[in-house]
Amino acid sequence: MTASLDRVLGARLPAPPDGLRRGPFRRGAFASPLHSERRASRVGAWLGAAFLVCFLTGMISHLVQDAPSWFVWPARPVWLYGVTQGLHVVTGLAAIPLLLVKLWTVYPKLFEWPPAGSPSRLISRISILVLVAAGTFQLLTGLVNIAQWYPWGFFFTDTHYWTGWIAIGAVAVHVGAKAPEIRRGLARRGSPGAVAGLAPEQAAELTAEDEAAEHGAVSRRTFVLATGAGAGAVTLAMAGQTFSPLADVSLLAPRHPGVGPQDLPVRQTAERAGVTETAVDPAYRLTVAGPNPLELTLADLQGMAQHTVELPITCVEGWSAGGTWTGVRLADLLEEAGLPRDTQVTVESLQPGGLYRVSTVAPPHASSPLTLLALQLQGEPLDLDHGYPVRLIAPNRPGVMQTKWVTAVAPA
């Protein structure tokens, strides 16, 4: 059966009449030596590495936000999520120029003659469309997401997650299918590996192509430097939203770490959350469920032992900014309510709706002395947009899980 399938897939399909071979299909239509196996392989290696980093760091973010029972995310180091998510966003942005360059090096293959020499070749070309479509979709929607612009009707997070699996799977299939070409492209010019598996006339053609590239109008070195400079410029222009020393030169970053109420950026405002009245209502109470249930006013919370911590707010969009927070330790409240200090709890917001109005605090974070129900930021009462009267702040968690306008805590 396998032999029969091989014969079917490898069967030669009839070529279209030569009279149709015009325009981009004609011989010599793409004369630039930079449209080569070597250039495509080397840019592809960079792009593949960027996709892998994006996939792994994206999986970390997904697991942190929607943790299965087997996954434990630590409370320390406090900067870990900021590094992984910043790397996710910056690498994704750097992958955009790499993808454009990669497509430029290989697009002449769209006009190969004959268009489909065999069924297997036709299937291979169709599979590449899946890779290009998934990769382009991931990078484009990721770019739009960090600008907080959602011109579509689907939920970005779920779609981005599942398309990520499609993209990384397509990368793996592509690398497997193109392994001989990739090995030749990555081999040093003139080495046996550079011409391995080629007929003598093909090897001679490849060597001549590389020599032409070295003496052409745009050399290989210039091509590599230009590609690296493009990716580096994009990285530098965005990295300041995560790495604050670069903030002044990160001109494309949608967030500046020190800009916002009380010197911290805000993603969800009180007005958008619908809490401008309930958050300042004198009847506000914080309830803590447990064997000894608590119902606390703001004055009650202010009269309890206060602790101050330095912790960053890290957004899934890649920005991170540190703040000085003062409030009551969550573990102290749990203990007073008759619960173990490491109880997994849910924290509920005053906001009437939204995907993140309730977040789960896992044992490593609930028991951490750094996890507060904060009442102050930078030595002042919380700004309304930062969660007044009470907000959760815990180490090494995404900003969307640092619930603002907290009204209830209960065992999960």
Least confident residue range of 15-24, 84-93, 131-140, 374-383: 15-24
Task: Encode the chain in three state secondary structure.
Answer: CHHHHHHHHHCCCCCCCHHHCCHHHCCCCCCCCCCCHHHHHHHHHHHHHHHHHHHHHHHHHHHHHCCCCCCCCCCCCCCHHHHHHHHHHHHHHHHHHHHHHHHHHHHHHHHCCCCCCCHHHHHHHHHHHHHHHHHHHHHHHHHHHHCCCCCCCCCHHHHHHHHHHHHHHHHHHHHHHCHHHHHHHHCCCCCHHHHCCCCHHHHHHHHHHHHHHHHCCCCHHHHHHHHHHHHHHHHHHHHCCCCHHHHHHCCCCCCCCCCCHHHCCCCCCHHHHCCCCHHHCCCCCEEECCCCCEEECHHHHHCCCCEEEEEEEECCCCCEEEEEEEEEEHHHHHHHCCCCCCCCEEEEECCCCCCCCEEEECHHHHCCCCCEEEEEECCEECCHHHCCCCEEECCCCEHHHCCCCEEEEEEC
Sign for the pseudo-dihedral over CA of 183, 187, 193, 197: positive
Tens-place pLDDT, residues 267-287: 899 999 999 999 999 999 999
The answer to whether residue 23 sits within a structural domain is: yes
What was the pLDDT predicted at 214? 45
The answer to whether residues 99 and 151 belong to one domain is yes
Residue 44: count of CB within 10 angstroms of its CB:
24
Tens-place pLDDT, residues 285-305: 999 999 999 999 999 999 999
The answer to whether residues 312 and 382 belong to one domain is yes
The answer to whether residue 257 sits within a structural domain is: no
Boundary (domain end) residue, out of 204, 222, 249 = 249
Instruction: Give the CA dihedral 228, 233, 234, 238, nearest 10 degrees.
Output: 140
Residue 122 has pLDDT above 70, yes or no: yes
Axis crossing angle, helix 37-65 with helix 179-186, rounded to the nearest 10: 110
Hey, what amino acid is at 168? I
Residue 133 has pLDDT above 60, yes or no: yes
What was the pLDDT predicted at 110? 77
Burial class (CB in 10 A: 0-12, 13-18, 19+), 396: buried
For residue 321, give the CATH number of its domain: 3.90.420.10
Residue 147: count of CB within 10 angstroms of its CB:
10
Least confident residue range of 244-248, 299-303, 337-341, 363-367: 244-248
The answer to whether residue 15 sits within a structural domain is: yes
The answer to whether residues 235 and 318 belong to one domain is no
The answer to whether residue 2 sits within a structural domain is: no
The answer to whether residues 230 and 326 belong to one domain is no
The answer to whether residues 238 and 312 belong to one domain is no
The answer to whether residues 210 and 296 belong to one domain is no
Question: How many domains does one find in the chain?
Answer: 2
Tens-place pLDDT, residues 92-118: 988 998 999 898 888 887 787 777 777
| Backbone phi and psi for residue 321, each to the nearest 5 degrees, phi listed first | -150, 135
Boundary (domain end) residue, out of 226, 249, 272 = 249
The answer to whether residue 4 sits within a structural domain is: no
Residue 240 has pLDDT above 80, yes or no: no
Instruction: Give the CA dihedral 378, 381, 387, 393, nearest 10 degrees.
Output: 50
The answer to whether residues 156 and 276 belong to one domain is no
Q: How many residues does the chain have?
A: 412
| Backbone phi and psi for residue 403, each to the nearest 5 degrees, phi listed first | -55, 135
Residue 213 has pLDDT above 50, yes or no: no
The answer to whether residues 215 and 296 belong to one domain is no
The answer to whether residue 62 sits within a structural domain is: yes
Residue 50 has pLDDT above 50, yes or no: yes
The answer to whether residues 269 and 351 belong to one domain is yes
CB-based contact 334:290 (threshold 8 Å):
yes
Average pLDDT value for residue range 363-382: 97
Hey, what amino acid is at 141? T
The answer to whether residue 254 sits within a structural domain is: no
Average pLDDT value for residue range 329-339: 98
CB-based contact 49:102 (threshold 8 Å):
no
In angstroms, the CA 398 to CA 85 distance is: 9
The answer to whether residues 15 and 163 belong to one domain is yes
Tens-place pLDDT, residues 1-24: 555 654 655 567 677 777 777 777
The answer to whether residues 139 and 274 belong to one domain is no
The pLDDT mean for the chain works out to: 85
CB-based contact 384:374 (threshold 8 Å):
no
Taking CA atoms, 291 is separated from 169, 285, 334, 340, 368, in Å, by 49, 18, 10, 11, 21
Boundary (domain end) residue, out of 249, 282, 300 = 249
Q: Is the model more confident about 185 or about 292?
A: 292
The neighbouring-strand residues paired with 295 are 287
The domain containing residue 57 runs over which residues? Answer: 11-249
Residue 174's nearest CA partner among 93, 234, 109, 85 is 109
Highest mean pLDDT among 37-46, 83-92, 252-261: 83-92
Least confident residue range of 135-149, 217-231, 337-351: 217-231
The answer to whether residues 153 and 282 belong to one domain is no
Query: What's the pTM value of the predicted model, to 2 decimals?
Result: 0.82
Residue 201 has pLDDT above 80, yes or no: no
In sequence order, the 6+-apart residues with CB closer than 8 A to the CB of 3 are none
The answer to whether residue 202 sits within a structural domain is: yes
Three-point CA angle 386, 388, 391, nearest 5° = 70
Q: How far apart are the first and last CA of the chain?
A: 55
